[in-house]
Chains A and B, each alone.
Chain A
Amino acid sequence: MLKRIIALVKKEFLIIWRDPKSRMLIIIPPIMQLFIFAYAMTMEVRNIDMAILDRSNTLESRELISKFESSKWFRKFIYVKNENELRKSIETQKAHIALEINSDFSSKIKRGKTADVQIITDGRQTNTAAIAGGYANEIINKYSDEFSKGKNTKINFETRSWYNENLEYMYYTLASLVVLLAMVITLLLTSLSIARERELGTFDQLIVSPCTPFEILAGKTIAPMGVALSLSMFMAFVAVFHFKMPFRGSVILYLISTVIAILSITGVGLFVSALSKTQQQAILGAFTFQTPASLLSGFISPIEDMPRFFQYLTFLDPLRFYMVIGKGIFLKNMPLQDVITNLIPLCIIAIITLGGAMWLFNKQLD
């Protein structure tokens, strides 16, 4: 039995790898997407509302604020009196960003010393926060340059993001993308595999051989898994070494999680493939799963912001759990316990989808 499985796995590998067209189709688009998303997904944001806590209340501080007022990106300014009000304005999302100027601002720059300014962004809206923070940086830098002409003065500003300390927007996108693309590759490979054999007529030949359905499916699980795993490792590699994304968690935990996540998606792919008569149908079926799965994964919008019903629906989405693990391991050192809490539902989904694919496959042989 083992020898037959090995032969089947080898064959699946060869079929994926030998055809130059299919090889290109597997490698190029994911990597292209990785680069395009990483570089292109900075969108311009306008109409930013800003809360201002001006403790200095001097000519200099007002001059800085006027720079913000005259810029095209900012819309409304809410002047707050204390820390508490500032917190509230961010919390209730009245303001996307807050500017805090210390009382010694004016005296410090006048004396040619470094003055401190703090910018606070709403980390829950990662995208807006990152971009608004960027604009603020730009404005303060410009002001600082103008002021310090010929002098030694400098404004030191610090951007802090509440709820998501050390906001690194590109990293967030990258980590999610590596996860997302692992799913796309796995789904593509597995959903095509049975359908391709059906379409080309090799399926009957395989069924008439001594291979049992279990062996055939094992071959169709292991080979795409190998390809998807190596590609997703490669993408993680590109993210870390080319885009300098941090990798803060455990590599082994990441590997184990990826294997289980890929397994659960393989089950979905094989299920779709067993249902399809042609490769075209299989691709359509894969898309039918892929789009809602990515939407519900929390990549595009936070799960907490979804309507209650959809929040429950996300529990069926293997990508949701894998997304949490992936981002957790990349961006922060996610503790083992948290990884396991997310791995358990992934395992359950894997068992259900693979079992379902097996059941359907067997049923269709009648």
Chain B
Amino acid sequence: MNESAIEIKNLTYKFNSSDSYALEDICVEIRKSTISGIVGPDSAGKTTLLRCITGLLTPQKGNIRTFNLNPTKQQEEINKILGYMPQKFGLYEDLSVEENLNLYFQLKEIPESNKNEIFEKLYHFTNLEQFKKRAAGKLSGGMKQKLGLACALLGKPDLLVLDEPSVGVDPISRKELMKMVKELSSCDTTTIWSTTYMDEAQSFDFCIVLNKGKIIYKGKPFNLGKNTKEFENKIIKIMGGYKEKESFLAKDFTLKKTDIECPVRAIGLEKKYGDFYAVKNNTFCIKKGEIFGLLGPNGAGKSTSFKMMCGLTTPSAGSAKIMNIDIVKNPSKARSYIGYMAQKFSLYGSLDVLGNLNFFASIYGLEGKEKETEIKKVAEVFELEPFLKQDAKELSLGFKQRLALACAIMHKPPVLFLDEPTSGVDPIARKEFWSHIKGLAKKGVTTMVTTHFMDEAEYCDRISLFFKGEAIATGTPDELQKKAHTKNMEEAFSVLIERSQTK
């Protein structure tokens, strides 16, 4: 058995602004040279725990020994052995990739002699060599995370702490991140990685499952489940379980009758930046009540397509029609049919929950009695009632997501556009979310969604797979799997992309 890297005894932490404990009576021991996962829903205390371990927060009660040091009192010594990557890594967005690496290289006081060798290796693993001179702010989400991780890995830290490094990153880049950690950290490195992705957590040596500030499981992930699905189901079970139930939201949802067969249509959509095609000749038709998924790695053109469909970007050629109305020619009318939910929380944080509901109801033309009943209904369905007077920015991520969906569907839109709606959300909240979407689809709501989660792709009726600006395959999840001769979406995704690359 390895000796222990981190020992935590009876750790309790409470934020001044909150009544409940962020962490309560945590006891755990993390062994040296292992990769440990911290898993749990949003606001379970994952970040707080990591910040206590690294000495950024001082707990009110309990003991922490990090590499036999007291994190609060011996922060300087800890910093010498620590590689820390917070949720948003402190990259300097105006500096180039190389300048960022250089900066962290110097900050960590690594001897200059090995510099070329180290940098070469990092460039090799991150595939960032060709983007050396590009400003960090102009990299895609996945590349930024890789660069952040590369900076954290500089100097081969004994302790590597990664706070949800893979949120909003496509599956291929996620795999690469994992590979980087496993291969680049020396075998003595102890890694702690917090995540909401079950497939990641399942692959670690050790995992700590947190819920509402308490540890509900610690041990080998393998003992919970031999594969991701099993693991996820087990986690959901110990977190209190999830029962598939009919969505209350969808129950009283009625749409105005239309004869339109394809509420959402793209006809030869194209977006060109100079000589570069971000999206090339994209044509599709989403049938009424269908859930249509746009999939692809970061920068493949799915976001651009999505934006053109919403009218956030004007296409260079082709057109997008919502309920047979061209979004460029008559944007206000076309948009009144859309319910939109962005990837990043995009409601007014400084308004309270009720203020947000009121505002979005009004701009979508609801008024008087109808507005009141609609607001009351969504507040009830999404269990937002206790928070009506709370500022939206103070909600937990899961509730923010609910509020965003509530604001998007109050006006009963026949079309729903969701841009990575569940990134960073825990599995239970995600299942709940999809039960609403499924229910709405049954009532005839047409949905277009972009996602990184392969299991989420399976909720879609049809999927369009993007790569290098083109839709390389379109079909039901089954069809795509058959085409790729694989048994799950994730593999199908990789196979189909590889195939199009060799073409």
Q: Which residues of A contact B417 (CB under 8 A)?
A: 208
Q: From the candidates A7, A200, A204, name the one contacting B359 in the complex (CB within 8 A).
A: A7
Interface positions of B from 333 to 363, Cβ below 8 Å from A: 333, 335-336, 338, 340, 342, 344-352, 355, 358-360, 362-363
Q: Is the CB of B351 within 8 A of A8?
A: no
Q: A3-B367, A208-B338, A209-B364 are in contact. Are A202 and B332 (CB under 8 A)?
A: no
| Smallest CB gap from A4: residue in B | B363
Cβ contacts A177-207/B at 8 Å (1 or 0 each): 0000000000000000000000011111101
Q: Which residues of B contact A3 (CB under 8 A)?
A: 362, 365, 367
- Complex Cα gap A15–B346 (Å): 14
Q: Is the CB of A211 within 8 A of B350?
A: no
Q: Is the CB of B332 within 8 A of A205?
A: no
- Chain B min CB distance to A17 (Å): 10
- Chain A min CB distance to B343 (Å): 9
Q: Is the CB of B346 within 8 A of A205?
A: yes
B residues sitting closer than 8 Å to A (CB atoms) are 310-314, 331-333, 335-336, 338, 340, 342, 344-352, 355, 358-360, 362-365, 367, 391, 417
| Smallest CB gap from A211: residue in B | B363
Q: Which residues of B contact A207 (CB under 8 A)?
A: 310-312
Q: Which residues of A contact B347 (CB under 8 A)?
A: 202, 205
- Complex Cα gap A323–B473 (Å): 65
- Chain B min CB distance to A215 (Å): 8
Q: Is the CB of B335 within 8 A of A19?
A: no
- Whether A311 is near chain B, meaning CB under 8 Å from some CB there, is no
Q: A3-B362, A204-B342 are in contact. Are A19 and B367 (CB under 8 A)?
A: no
- Please indicate which of the listed interface residues B311, B344, B346, B349 has the most CB atoms of chain A within 10 Å of its own CB: B346
| Smallest CB gap from A207: residue in B | B312
- Complex Cα gap A208–B363 (Å): 11
- Complex Cα gap A231–B417 (Å): 42
- Chain B min CB distance to A4 (Å): 5
- Whether A36 is near chain B, meaning CB under 8 Å from some CB there, is no
Known: A200-B348, A202-B348, A207-B312. 15 other contacts (CB 8 A): A3-B362, A4-B365, A6-B362, A7-B359, A10-B359, A15-B351, A18-B350, A18-B351, A22-B350, A208-B311, A208-B338, A208-B340, A210-B363, A212-B331, A365-B312
Q: Is the CB of B335 within 8 A of A210?
A: yes
Q: Is the CB of B342 within 8 A of A201?
A: yes
- Complex Cα gap A6–B351 (Å): 16
Q: Is the CB of B351 within 8 A of A201?
A: no
Cβ contacts A262-292/B at 8 Å (1 or 0 each): 0000000000000000000000000000000
Q: A3-B365, A208-B338 are in contact. Are A11 and B332 (CB under 8 A)?
A: no
- Provide 25 A-B residue pairs closer than 8 Å at the C-beta atoms, listed in order of the A residue: A3-B362, A4-B365, A8-B363, A11-B355, A11-B359, A14-B351, A14-B355, A15-B351, A18-B352, A18-B391, A200-B346, A200-B349, A201-B346, A202-B347, A202-B348, A205-B340, A205-B342, A205-B347, A207-B310, A207-B311, A209-B340, A210-B364, A210-B365, A211-B332, A366-B314
- Complex Cα gap A4–B355 (Å): 15
Q: From the candidates B312, B313, B333, B352, name the one contacting A210 in the complex (CB within 8 A).
A: B333
| Smallest CB gap from A17: residue in B | B350
- Complex Cα gap A15–B312 (Å): 24
- Chain A min CB distance to B446 (Å): 16
| Smallest CB gap from B310: residue in A | A208
- Complex Cα gap A211–B338 (Å): 12
- Complex Cα gap A294–B340 (Å): 43
Q: Is the CB of B363 within 8 A of A202?
A: no
Which 3 A-B pairs give the minimum distances between C-beta atoms? A7-B362, A210-B336, A208-B340
- Complex Cα gap A322–B66 (Å): 65
- Complex Cα gap A366–B273 (Å): 12
- Complex Cα gap A8–B358 (Å): 11
Q: Which residues of B contact A210 (CB under 8 A)?
A: 332-333, 335-336, 363-365
- Chain B min CB distance to A71 (Å): 58
- Please indicate which of the listed interface residues A200, A202, A205 has the most CB atoms of chain B within 10 Å of its own CB: A205
Q: From the candidates B313, B335, B340, B351, name the one contacting A11 in the complex (CB within 8 A).
A: B351
| Smallest CB gap from A202: residue in B | B346
| Smallest CB gap from A22: residue in B | B350
| Smallest CB gap from A366: residue in B | B314
- Complex Cα gap A7–B366 (Å): 11
Cβ contacts A19-44/B at 8 Å (1 or 0 each): 10010000000000000000000000
- Complex Cα gap A203–B344 (Å): 11
- Chain A min CB distance to B79 (Å): 28
Q: Is the CB of B363 within 8 A of A7?
A: yes
Q: Which residues of A contact B340 (CB under 8 A)?
A: 204-205, 208-209
- Complex Cα gap A208–B391 (Å): 23
- Complex Cα gap A39–B367 (Å): 51
- Complex Cα gap A10–B311 (Å): 25
- Chain B min CB distance to A24 (Å): 14
Q: Which residues of A contact B314 (CB under 8 A)?
A: 365-366
| Smallest CB gap from A203: residue in B | B346
Q: Is the CB of B355 within 8 A of A208?
A: no
- Complex Cα gap A19–B391 (Å): 10
Q: Which residues of B contact A15 (CB under 8 A)?
A: 348, 350-351
- Complex Cα gap A205–B358 (Å): 15
Q: Which residues of B contact A200 (CB under 8 A)?
A: 346, 348-349
Q: Which residues of A contact B333 (CB under 8 A)?
A: 210
Q: Which residues of B contact A205 (CB under 8 A)?
A: 340, 342, 346-347
- Chain A min CB distance to B285 (Å): 21
| Smallest CB gap from A8: residue in B | B363
- Chain A min CB distance to B282 (Å): 18
Q: Is the CB of B312 within 8 A of A204?
A: yes
Q: Which residues of A contact B332 (CB under 8 A)?
A: 210-212
- Chain A min CB distance to B166 (Å): 20
Q: Which residues of A contact B362 (CB under 8 A)?
A: 3-4, 6-7, 10
Q: Which residues of B contact A201 (CB under 8 A)?
A: 342, 344-346
- Complex Cα gap A138–B284 (Å): 88
- Complex Cα gap A236–B7 (Å): 65
- Complex Cα gap A131–B358 (Å): 58
- Complex Cα gap A18–B336 (Å): 28
- Complex Cα gap A22–B365 (Å): 30
- Complex Cα gap A203–B348 (Å): 10
- Complex Cα gap A200–B342 (Å): 12
- Chain B min CB distance to A6 (Å): 8
- Complex Cα gap A208–B348 (Å): 15
Q: Which residues of A contact B391 (CB under 8 A)?
A: 18
- Please indicate which of the listed interface residues A202, A204, A209, A211 has the most CB atoms of chain B within 10 Å of its own CB: A209
| Smallest CB gap from A212: residue in B | B332
- Complex Cα gap A200–B313 (Å): 19
Q: Which residues of B contact A366 (CB under 8 A)?
A: 313-314
- Chain A min CB distance to B372 (Å): 15
- Chain A min CB distance to B65 (Å): 39
Q: Which residues of A contact B352 (CB under 8 A)?
A: 18
Q: Which residues of A contact B335 (CB under 8 A)?
A: 208-210
- Complex Cα gap A211–B311 (Å): 12
- Complex Cα gap A18–B352 (Å): 9
- Complex Cα gap A202–B350 (Å): 11
Q: Which residues of B contact A6 (CB under 8 A)?
A: 362
Q: Is the CB of B363 within 8 A of A19?
A: no
